[in-house]
Structure formats: C-alpha cells, structure tokens
C-alpha cells in the first residue's frame, strides 16, 4: 500500500499560512498576478459547467476564480491551515466550492473518472510525491479530460545550495539594493531534490527559510508519460504589458522565462492510468490494420 506519511514540507507551510494569505489576497504576488495566472487561465479556457479539481489549492485563490467562471469546484491541499482559511472565505462569500485536506498523491475518497479538468497552479513542485500526484490526476479524470498545471521553469529555476545561489539571476550587486538583472546563470540542473532558500513575501513582514523541490524537465514529462497522459501544449509565459508597466522588474522575464504551463490529456477510451500503444488486428480478409489499445500501468 502506498505510504501516507506526512509530506516533508507541510509543517513549513503551516507556519506561514497567515503571511501567505496576506501576500496572495493583498495582490502582492506579482508573478501570480501578471505572469503565471493569466497564462494558466488562458490555457484552461472556458470552464462553465465543468467538474474541476484544484490540486494544491492553497488558500483557494484560483478555486474561487474557477467557481466564479461557472465551474463546479472541489479543491484539495495537504496543509490544514490553508484549507481552514479557504473554508472561512467560502463561508463568508459562498461559491459552492468544496475544500478538503488531502495529499495530492493519495486522493482518498475521490472516485475514478470524476472530473473534466484537474488544474494545479504553481503547486506540483511543492508536492513531494509528484509522480503520485500525476497518477492520481489521470485516475480522477474522465477520458478526454485535461490536466493543466504550472511550475517554475525547470531549466531556469532559482536554486540555492548551502545558502548560496547556484542558479538564478546575477545582478549588479550581490546585496540589496542589488540593481539591474544582468543575466541568468544555470548550474546544478541535474541535482534534483529538496532545497532551501531565503524568502521574503512582498507587502508583508514575513521573512523565512522556504523549502521546495527542484525537478528537471524530463522528470515532469516522464511522469506524465508513465501515467498515460498525452502532452498537448507547453507554454512559457511572459509578463503581461500591464505587469511590466506596474512592476518594471518583470521585464527580465521577456528574456528568460520564469515558468511553464503544461496541458496534458487523458486519452479517450482510457479508464485509469496507462499508455496508448499501437496494436494490430486482422481484418476479415487477412489484411493487417493498425489500431490502438489501452494498456493499464503495472
């Protein structure tokens, strides 16, 4: 049976719930507002009448957007404090969203082929068993359903090792005020796993040591393929014109992308995870006709 131990970074997120809510709801997360969310919502498209799972929903920011656009939303997150704040907002302004505390890699109580769309906004990189989360996404999707997610660009992830930045923007000065971004240095790309870095949340007094996972592009693509997904689109978002005007520092993302948005599809005819492989059947007159059959995973 799969392990259900507490994910390694949940205690970390519990400790910053209040600061995170202030950061998000105050509009201080400029990468969310002007880069990642607009790109994700464009790729997702119309959702009216769809059954949607928001995977790694945090305090419910995107769950509320999807519900206002007409989706029937169930939202899950492994951090109880985040779900508590999301539920409090739902009570205050009801949208019909159902929030659950759940590990994305073990969606107990969520049936197979339940959703038209699984959306994950900048969360998969914070899920320890990301492969399990991808497998669960294909399980709960209806055939033809879509998994759309965003993560930091694996090739241009800001990575710290032993307190030192080994990949990231190199600026005029190492200490604040750091000045203009000169270029993006890439190193330690294949050294995947958990790492920590200093983080301060714009618009708040929060200063803390953040932790997350660095993964390669092939890690994500292979997890999708092994689960049985077919990748349909990959976007590398650029900041909106308004974002650059309001926050000129975002202009550097016109040179080097900050994130990727991936749209993957569960093939029609599939019932669980697996892969589509060519098969051969014989026609009545002995000719060989190529077709496809669904092979479930081991």
State the DSSP code for 32.
I
For residue 293, tell me if it sits in a domain.
Answer: no
For residue 199, tell me if it sits in a domain.
Answer: no
- What is residue 194's predicted lDDT score, i.e. its pLDDT? 87
For residue 43, tell me if it sits in a domain.
Answer: yes
Supply 298's token pair: 């081991």
What domain count does the chain have? 1
| 3-state SS class at 236 | coil
| Burial category of 75 from C-beta neighbours within 10 Å (exposed 0-12, middle 13-18, buried 19 and up) | buried
| 3-state SS class at 60 | coil
For residue 297, tell me if it sits in a domain.
Answer: no
- What is residue 291's predicted lDDT score, i.e. its pLDDT? 38
- What is residue 286's predicted lDDT score, i.e. its pLDDT? 41
For residue 196, tell me if it sits in a domain.
Answer: no
- Give the helix/strand (H/E) hosting 12: helix 10-14
Which domain CATH number covers 74?
3.40.50.150
For residue 282, tell me if it sits in a domain.
Answer: no
Supply 278's token pair: 């060519």
Range of the domain at 141: 10-153+205-272
Per-position DSSP letters for 46-59, written without gaps between them: --TT-EEEEET-TT
For residue 224, tell me if it sits in a domain.
Answer: yes
pLDDT in tens, the chain (298 residues): 344 455 555 677 888 899 999 999 999 999 999 999 999 999 999 999 999 999 999 999 999 999 999 999 999 999 999 999 999 999 999 999 999 999 999 999 899 999 999 999 999 999 989 999 999 999 999 999 999 999 999 999 999 888 889 999 999 887 766 789 999 999 999 999 988 878 788 888 877 777 888 999 999 999 999 999 999 999 999 999 999 999 999 999 999 999 999 999 999 876 554 444 333 333 333 433 333 434 444 3
For residue 64, tell me if it sits in a domain.
Answer: yes
């Amino acid at each position: 049976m799969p392990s259900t131990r507490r994910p390694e970074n949940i205690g970390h997120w519990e400790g910053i719930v209040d600061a995170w809510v202030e950061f998000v709801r105050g509009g201080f997360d400029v990468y969310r507002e002007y880069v990642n969310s607009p790109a994700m919502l464009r790729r997702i498209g119309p959702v009216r009448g769809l059954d949607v799972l928001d995977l790694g929903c945090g305090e419910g920011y995107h769950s509320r957007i999807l519900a206002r656009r007409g989706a029937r939303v169930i939202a899950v997150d492994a951090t109880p404090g985040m779900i508590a704040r999301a539920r409090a907002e739902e009570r205050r302004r009801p949208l019909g969203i159902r929030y659950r505390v759940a590990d994305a890699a073990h969606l107990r109580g969520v049936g197979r082929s339940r959703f038209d769309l699984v959306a994950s906004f900048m969360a998969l990189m914070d899920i320890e068993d990301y492969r399990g989360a991808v497998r669960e996404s294909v399980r709960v999707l209806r055939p033809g359903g879509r998994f759309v997610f965003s993560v930091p660009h694996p090739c241009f992830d800001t990575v710290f090792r032993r307190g030192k930045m080994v990949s990231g923007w190199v600026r005029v000065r190492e200490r604040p005020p750091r000045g203009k971004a000169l270029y993006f240095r890439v190193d330690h790309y294949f050294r995947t796993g958990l790492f920590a870095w200093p983080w301060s949340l714009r618009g708040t007094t929060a200063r803390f040591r953040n932790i997350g996972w660095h993964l390669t592009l092939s890690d994500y693509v292979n997890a999708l393929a092994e689960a049985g997904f077919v990748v349909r689109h990959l976007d590398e978002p650029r900041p909106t014109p308004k974002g650059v005007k309001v926050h000129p520092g975002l202009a550097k993302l016109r040179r080097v992308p900050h994130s990727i948005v991936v749209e993957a599809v569960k093939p029609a005819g599939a019932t669980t995870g697996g892969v589509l492989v060519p098969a051969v059947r014989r026609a009545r007159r002995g000719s060989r006709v190529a077709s496809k059959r669904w092979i479930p995973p081991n």
